[in-house]
Structure 1
Amino acid sequence: MKILYSLVAVVLLFAAVSCNKKADKKTEESKKASEKVVPELKITIDSSGISTFYQSYPKLVKFQNEVLALYKKNKSTQLWLDNRGVVEYANTLFNKYKGLDQEGLKANFPYNEKISPIFEHTAENKLSQKDTDLMITNLYFYYVQKVSGVDEKTTRSLEWLLPRKKVNYQVFSDSIYKKATISDDKKSKMFSQYYKLRDALHRYREIEKKGGWKTIETAEDFKSLKLGDSVATIGQIRERLYITGDLKENNKSNICDSTLIKGIRTYELHHGLTPKNIILPEHIAELNVPVSDRIKTIIANMERCRWIDPELEKGKEYIEVNIPEFKLYLIRNHEIAFVSPVVVGRAMNKTVIFSGMMNNIVFSPYWNVPPSIIKSEIKPGMAKNKNYLAQKNLEWNNGAVRQLPGKNNSLGLVKFLFPNSNNIYLHDTPSKSLFERENRAFSHGCVRVGKPRELAIELLKQDPSMTTERIDKAMHAGKESWYTLKKKIPVYIGYFTAWVDRDGNLNFYKDVYKRDESLIKLLTEE
């Protein structure tokens, strides 16, 4: 009996295995059959279909050439749809678009009511498959345009002449075609300051969500607060500084102690103010700027960062001047090698935002007086005083006027040349007291350097023959002499009213040329 049961068990086992094999075979055949039944989705999207699309959606026509080229490259077939519907790559794009607010931009696609139902399923997508694919493609180019910043024609109208980051639509087209990842997280894609300001934007928006900060109230006759003073205003200042991290803790005391003074000095350093040991009305005015305004300033400067070619900061040696900060930096091997205060052009004679290549240093320079100054200042002076030229150390030179070398020369004892059509250069000045002021917009447009001797020494370190003694002698020779740099040095003159420094501190500077408001208006009206 045991043998009989064993034989039955074996037969049943083989039968089960055989049945399973047959079932698996049938399942596999059924799967293959179903795969064969559903053909690959293929939607023809040719030039005539694209032309018809733009007749219906004219607000997107600026992308037509790029879209035509892209579909032609893809053999006039769809890019974003398959048998299962919208591909995951398209959903990633839409999420990036919806997240533009995190980049300080508005997500206002011209046909938002058409694009949203494709992804959000809150309403039925009434577009044809062809128009659905075309709408997503236009969303892609819209997104690219937004994250790349306003066009070069617009930035030029805003007097921004620094080298622009080029928008290569062909590269983006290839990205779609190859289904590459839509991401701006790789730091090399943008000017590094952009990412730092984006982090600051998120932090300040969190402050705004929590209610921002209250307006600090002072008495009508308020003049100053000093160490030891006790008044309710002190507690308000303490709370305000704590919110932005200028004070690490808030003991809620109404007494002005050393901790509070230290916090105010930190605040001053990060807002373009000269550190003092007292609290003045100017401090209260700065502290009372609403968080919403600070956010707008950050957004404006994020936009400026979009215009900067990230390749610029990869140079081994270059000079950068930030006009609102009134400072010059020499960057060498990605580190700050030298810093100097500067004086820039007044509002009527704005220093131009541009770049050049420094090639010469001129010691004991002549100053060739611009025709505008001859007309507005020198000729009226000569009319009143026949000895005007001699008293100002000026002379006629081939029909023009120039100032002789010397310590009283308007260019001081040295100038740094980077040829440009704006006739802008860096130079020394006899008016040293101007560098002690907070607002240093006083020049006719050129950039006056607070530490010109030190800058010359730093730039000429690479040349052993140009010792400090030789540089000093050339600066005081009373006779003009030129030195040609062995390697030209890029000079970038920019305009940033918000900037995160290398220690991670967010700094705000006065908008000396009133450029922020027009830029914010441009960004919010789009």
Structure 2
Amino acid sequence: MFISPTRSGIVRFMAGFFALFVSLSLAAPVEAEMTAFRQAVASSAARDKDIAAFYQSREYKPFWTAANAGARRRALIEALSDAPEHGLPARRYDVEGLLARLDAARTPKARGIVEVEMSRVFVQYARDVQTGVLVPGRVVSDIKREVPYRERLSYLENFARSHPRGFFRALPPDSNEYTRLMKEKKKLESLLGAGGWGAQVPAGALKPADTGAAVVALRNRLIAMGFLRRTTTQSYDAAIQKAVQQFQLAHGLEADGVAGASTMAEINKDAGERLQSVLVAMERERWMNMPRGERHILVNLTDFTARVMDNDTLTFETRSVVGATASDRRSPEFSDVMEFMVINPTWNVPRSIAVKEYLPMFQRNPNAAGHLRLVDSRGRTVSRSAVNFGAYTARTFPFNIKQPPGQRNALGLVKFMFPNKYNIYLHDTPAKNLFSREVRAFSHGCIRLQEPFDFAYTLLSRQTDDPEGFFRAKLNTGVETVVPLEQPVPVHLIYRTAFTKAKGHMQYRRDIYGRDAQIWSALSEAGVALRAVQG
């Protein structure tokens, strides 16, 4: 962690830098100097095909170091100086070093080298602030997200045609979520500068009617966090109980007002750890810097919810169950488009489940799991008595396993399909008891919905005047029925341990798969630092 410096050092560098270019503008370079400059640019840019193409298109003339390029230079230096405001690795751009090299560039060759260096830093910053510092799949293999990268050359070309400051302002995500995350980041940085939330609560658990020093510490921490109005109470009274409930709601905990072990663990997390979550969330938001869809479905794996959003307003929300924490069951992160739902679905058991779970079961008892059918490659049902299961391995097992539609079907009575190579979809489930759990990570990777019928009605409401009647009529046939969505809906499976609401407290969730810890480690290694800003 470091204390954020003032910008006076940057300003002094800039003053000397701009004075240099004033002097350069007073002495027109001779042709020999221009030739040396162009040669230096061509040579320095040769290692980067995009930057080389940009300078080749402009005959290696100066873009940043021309006398009339002051607005570009100022906009770039200002943007680089503000990189930490976006949670970016300031050392990657080394603005003070860049200014020092500019100040020392007294020859055409030196100016040409610095000219290209400015373009390299510009392209790096532009991509980082627009679509992220990290390549997500290289950090966490289960993040399958396709980041909407822009062509590197396009940054230079578009900047050349744009108002410099306006160009930089348009680079970061313009979502309300990103704006609110930045606000929370600044709040936490100031809080760190002032010492955080104070002393931790020295107790493993507390409950209503408790008294003593630990309750006072709990009281003080809840006040500092903004969940409790200032009070001098020394007992766990109704006000503290209500504040604990509000804290629990903001942290995805059972809101019973009792500060049990899991609640106390979250209360005692420090502001620096929360700031890490916010910085990771900002990076994740940059990975999704693209239109989400006027109507879209948002599944936050850490929050165990599925939401239908219309114009960024919540239309419908239901609890969900996500993939278990075992490495081969975790739900991946990606975006796709929901195209249809299947009412009264057949469960086509995935190959991995068939050979890892059911084949060993059948080898022990051929009649086990009698609700499942064996189907050969021609689609014919095969009698269990005709199969020697012991003759097959996971590699050679030749059958598909299916479960017909019905109340006991593992997919329940409806599934929602956004066809993808990960075989992930949203669906009903007969295992309703799991939705009452605080942590709901139990599936093989697919997303189970607590209220799938209401979810279906919401989706169908745009294509029929009676969505419930339409759905029930199909359901009552008992026959598998595919219902296309007339307007396909984007689906985003995300993973946010820090996220915002338009109103109310900042939301934090537990890092159930450990992904955000990996991302923070990578960001930290890249140079992203926690800042304590002193007012």
Alpha-carbon separation, structure 2, partners of 1:126 and 1:288: 56
Q: CA deviation at 1:166?
A: 2.3
The one-letter code matched in structure 2 to 1:166 is: Y
Question: Match for 1:167: what amino acid?
Answer: R
Kept in 2: contact 1:213–1:243 (CA 8 A): yes
Structure 2 partner of 1:229: 210
Aligned 8 A contact 1:40 1:82 in 2: no
Matched residue type, 1:287: I
Name the CA distance, whole Å, in 2 between partners of 1:177 and 1:372: 52
- Cα displacement (A) at 1:41: 5.7
Cα offset, 1:111, TM superposition: 6.2
Deviation for aligned residue 1:50: 2.8
Q: Which residue of 2 aligns with 1:243?
A: 224
1:237 & 1:411 partners in 2: Cα distance?
Answer: 44
1:50 corresponding residue in structure 2: 41
1:477-506 Cα deviation digits (max 9, x unpaired) = 433222122221211111111111222532
Cα drift, residue 449 of structure 1 = 0.6
Give the equivalent residue in structure 2 for 1:142: 124
- Counterparts of 2:106 and 2:172 in 1: how far apart (Å)? 40
**1:262 to partner: Cα distance:** 1.6
SS of corresponding position for 2:291? helix
Per the alignment, residue 143 of structure 2 pairs with 160
Distance in 1, Cα, partners of 2:352 & 2:324: 15
Verify: 1:172 aligned to 2:155, yes or no.
yes
Work out whether residues 324 and 497 of structure 1, in 8 Å CA contact, stay in contact via their aligned partners in 2.
yes
Partner in structure 1 of residue 343 of structure 2: 363
Paired residue type of 1:442: F
CA distance in 2: counterparts of 1:376 and 1:82, whole angstroms: 66
1:176, CA displacement in angstroms? 4.1
Conserved 8 A contact 2:37-2:111? no
Q: TM-score with structure 1 length normalisation?
A: 0.82
| 1:331 matches 2:315 | no
- Paired residues of 2:340 and 2:417 also in contact (CA < 8 A): yes
Q: CA deviation at 1:172?
A: 2.0
Q: Given the superposition, is the C-alpha separation of residues 188 and 300 from structure 1 closer, same or farther in structure 2, using an over 3 Å criterion?
A: closer
1:172-219 per-residue CA deviation (whole Å, 9 max, x = no partner) reads: 213443462235444885444222211110111111000012343335
Partners of 2:198 and 2:134 lie apart in 1 by: 40
1:301 maps to which residue? 281
Provide the rounded CA distance (Å) in 2 between the counterparts of 1:472 and 1:268. 37
**Worse overlay, 351-360 or 189-198:** 189-198
Q: Deviations over 1:11-52 (max 9, x none)?
A: xxxxxxxxxxxxxxxxxxxxxxxxxx9565684576641354
Is the aligned partner of 1:291 residue 2:282? Answer: no
Aligned in 2, Cα 1:252/1:89: closer, same or farther, shift over 3 Å?
farther
1:316 is aligned to 294
RMSD: 2.8
Q: Secondary structure at the match of 1:420?
A: coil
Structure 2 Cα separation of the partners of residues 400 and 266 of structure 1: 49
Question: Which residue identity is paired with 1:138?
Answer: R
- 1:397 aligns with 375
Residues 77-97 of structure 1, C-alpha deviations (whole Å, 9 max, x = no match):
22223459x824313312221
What amino acid does structure 1 have at the position aligned with 2:217?
Answer: Q
1:432 is matched with: 432
The corresponding residue for 2:532 is none
Tell me the CA shift for residue 294 of structure 1.
1.0
Give the corresponding residue for 2:200. 216
Map residues 35-114 of structure 1 onto 2, 5 A cutoff: 38=26, 40=28, 43-44=34-35, 48-50=39-41, 52-53=43-44, 61=47, 64-83=48-67, 87-109=70-92, 114=97
Of 357, 373, 391, the match for 1:377 = 357
**Counterpart residue number, 2:421:** 421
Deviation at residue 507 of structure 1 after TM alignment:
0.8
- Judging changes above 3 Å, is the alpha-carbon distance between structure 1 residues 332 and 111 closer, same or farther for their aligned structure 2 residues? closer
Secondary structure of 1:389's aligned partner: coil
Indicate how the Cα distance of structure 1 residues 253 and 361 shifts in structure 2: closer, same or farther if over 3 A, else same.
Answer: same
Q: Any idea what the Cα deviations from partners look like across 1:460-489, whole Å, max 9, x if unmatched?
A: 113337542442343354332221222212
Match of 1:388 in 2: 368
Partners of 1:364 and 1:476 within 8 A in 2: no
Q: SS of 2:192's equivalent?
A: helix
Measured in 1, the distance between the counterparts of 2:177 and 2:413 equals 35
1:490 maps to 490
Deviation at 1:397, TM superposition (A): 2.3
Distance 1:333 1:87, change over 3 A: closer
Of the two, which has the highest radius of gyration?
1
Partner of residue 185, structure 2: 201
Q: 1:524–1:149: structure 2 CA closer, same or farther, 3 Å change rule?
A: farther
Offset of 1:134 from its aligned partner? 2.8
Q: 1:44 to 1:516 in 2, by over 3 A?
A: farther
With over 3 angstroms needed to count, the CA separation of the structure-2 counterparts of 1:90 and 1:46, relative to structure 1, is same
CA contact (8 A) 2:303 2:509 kept: yes
Find the residue that maps to 2:196 and give its secondary structure: coil
1:323-373 Cα shifts (integer Å, max 9, x gaps)? 111111111243211101111111221112112222221111111112222
Secondary structure at 1:356 match in 2? strand
* Equivalent of residue 112 in structure 2, options 120, 130, 133: 130
For 1:126 and 1:517, locate their aligned partners in 2 and report how far apart those are by CA, in whole Å: 46
Q: RCO greater where, 1 or 2, for CA within 8 Å and sep 6 or more?
A: 2
Cα separation, 2, equivalents of 1:65 and 1:442: 48
**Deviation at residue 444 of structure 1 after TM alignment:** 0.3
For structure 2, the residue ranges without an aligned partner over 5 or more in a row are 1-24, 377-398, 527-535
Deviation at 1:113, TM superposition (A): 6.5
Unmatched tracts of structure 1, length 5 or more: 1-36, 56-60
Distance between the aligned counterparts of 1:395 and 1:405, measured in 2? 12
- Give 2:453's aligned amino acid: R
- The alignment's TM-score, normalised by the length of structure 2, stands at 0.81
Once residues 476 and 437 of structure 2 are traced to their aligned partners in structure 1, the CA distance between those partners, rounded to angstroms, is 27
Q: Tell me by how many angstroms 1:263 deviates.
A: 1.3
